[in-house]
Structure 1
Amino acid sequence: MSLLVKICGLKTPETVAAALEAGADMVGFVFFPRSPRNVSLTEAALLAEPVRGRAGIVALTVDATDDDLAAIVDVLRPDLLQLHGAETPKRAAAVRARFGVPVMKAVRIAEAADLAPVAAFAPHVDRFLFDAKPPPALAGALPGGNGLAFDWRLVRDLDPGRPYMLSGGLDPANVARAIAVTRTPAVDVSSGVESAPGVKDPDRIRAFLREARAGAAGAAGEAAA
């Protein structure tokens, strides 16, 4: 199976280079001040220079205003806008129409009922990202990048009507198993390749790419057997 791998929340030239050299298909930049992975537009534009033409550039936003999105689109010129907040299907459709950039909507999951909004979003987005929903005890947690996983079996046989990425708690040690369970076409990682919140580890980035590719190859072999 052909697997897409996204490394999200990059902040330094060294980690961008590690992601590209290891074969990442997408790299993500976070525009959310509360996140330890937050970058300024100027920083992101500089980091994205070596990425353009080699991997997809993803801008992660959380309930961003039209003015914020306009600045991101103008300065960064992303290939994908990731909506990681409480955006509605109507808002996703408006963003997609106004800015002419493909949209990926994050859906946070803890139980099967959390997949209910997928049908409403599907006509208005180009891709989904299935992330873990923080438990009530972590009500103040960030929208993503919390290092939490959900029950991957919930999306194993799901056809959301759009391509999707699996996220939430993935790391080099479990990504191959996650791929085997879900047969996901794409994976996304952030905190799972960090040595501290917001601090990406080039060695862990390389390990994640290596294990993800091996997991995809193993899943493809099983499917063909």
Structure 2
Amino acid sequence: MSDMKVKICGLSTEDTMEAALDAGADMVGLMFFPKSPRHVTLSQACRLADMARGKAEIVALTVNMDPDGLSRINELVKPDIFQLHGTEAPEACAAIKVMQGTKVMKAVPVAEKADLEQAHYYDIVADWLLFDAKPPPGSELPGGNGVSYDWTLLKDLDLQKPFMLSGGLDADNVREAIRQSGVTAVDVSSGVEREKGVKDADLIRAFVAAAKGV
């Protein structure tokens, strides 16, 4: 059994959630961000979370969301982890963790080595760090853009908390990404889609198999 943790993010249908769970995904991400093609309503999210509960960790992805919004998701969807994918400060991460009583994963956008510096501030308060590629200029989405960065930047990164590689991964390059970065956890969204926002069950299976077969 591989120790590699795999997160499939931006799931929005029951058949692709089933595919992710059957394939052995460790974490499944639900996106609460109306600008994204992967956005789910609270009622959709509740159905999908019920399928995943007890089989994989449920991650609710939000972007600079207000406390009321977070509380509502927490109450209805009951995620294990809130993934904060905006410009939330370390203090905000700490507050959300306490107020919601969940784990917190903080996304850190990366384009060059200097971008990793801020990870140390979040390392103190978050349970997970997710290193995603900086969005291309003009993009309204903080993630899921299918762009990548120099994976070797994460090699020998000295953090207390577990961290995850995200950005531009797919079944064809994930093994190389793991080899170059030395990470023990990977996250994919657009890399398992046949068109923007539409996940593909076969691509999900192929990605999990490739990542865990390292």
Task: Give the TM bin, normalised by the shorter chain.
Answer: over 0.9
TM-score, structure 1 as length reference = 0.93
Within 2, Cα distance between the matches of 1:172 and 1:146?
A: 16
> Match for 1:144: what amino acid?
G
Within 2, Cα distance between the matches of 1:73 and 1:167?
A: 24
Within 2, Cα distance between the matches of 1:148 and 1:139?
A: 13
Q: Partner residue of 2:182? A: 183
**Offset, 1:47:** 1.0
TM-score, structure 2 as length reference = 0.97
Within 2, Cα distance between the matches of 1:180 and 1:13?
A: 32
Within 1, Cα distance between the matches of 2:207 and 2:107?
A: 21
Within 2, Cα distance between the matches of 1:129 and 1:69?
A: 19
Within 1, Cα distance between the matches of 2:31 and 2:104?
A: 15
Question: Secondary structure of 2:53's partner?
Answer: coil
Q: Partner residue of 1:159? A: 158
Q: Partner residue of 2:27? A: 26
CA-to-aligned-CA distance 1:198-223 (integer Å, 9 cap, x gap):
000000000001111112xxxxxxxx
Identity %: 53
Root-mean-square deviation (Å): 0.9
- 1:64-213 equivalences in 2 (<5 Å): 64-135=65-136, 138-213=137-212
> Match for 1:95: what amino acid?
I
**Offset, 1:141:** 3.7
Within 1, Cα distance between the matches of 2:44 and 2:113?
A: 38
* Structure 1 ranges of 4+ moved more than 4 A: none
Indicate if the aligned counterparts of 2:32 and 2:40 stay in contact, CA closer than 8 A: yes
Within 1, Cα distance between the matches of 2:186 and 2:140?
A: 21
CA-to-aligned-CA distance 1:155-197 (integer Å, 9 cap, x gap):
1110222100110000000001011111211000000000011
Indicate if the aligned counterparts of 2:35 and 2:140 stay in contact, CA closer than 8 A: no
Within 2, Cα distance between the matches of 1:90 and 1:213?
A: 34
Q: Partner residue of 1:16? A: 17
- Is there any run of 5+ residues in structure 1 with no aligned partner, and where? 216-225
Indicate if the aligned counterparts of 2:64 and 2:86 stay in contact, CA closer than 8 A: yes
> Match for 1:12: what amino acid?
T
Aligned length: 213
